[in-house]
Amino acid sequence: MAARKYAPPRTWVREGGSWPAGPMADDAPPYATVTAVVVERYLAAAQGRSLRSVARAAGIDPTSLGRMLAGETVPDVHTVAVLEQALDAELWPRYPDRSERR
């Protein structure tokens, strides 16, 4: 199976908005909305911990984490799972509904 090509999630933020708070475009695909929620929850859970310390605890590359946080990439399931474990927090939304968009 070939890798999917995605427009960076941050490109779905409406003009005048900001990543990851939004608001997201009405036609934003689910991956963009979910990534924004994951990033917002990460930022709340990290509570000032450095990106490198969280990446080290999760066993992932800090550059990849930084790109996800900047809205450049879509996190895979493994990345979300190890970040949840490292932060002891739920990052994945139960359902990416519009109430989580801003």
The pLDDT value given to residue 2: 60
Q: What is the pLDDT of residues 30-49, one digit of tens each?
A: 999 999 999 999 999 999 89
- Yes or no: domain 30-90 corresponds to CATH 1.10.260: yes
In tens, the pLDDT along 87-101 reads 999 999 986 555 555
Specify the pLDDT at position 6.
84
Q: Which pTM does this prediction carry? A: 0.88
Q: And the tokens for 34?
A: 């979910």
What pLDDT is stored for residue 85 in this prediction?
98
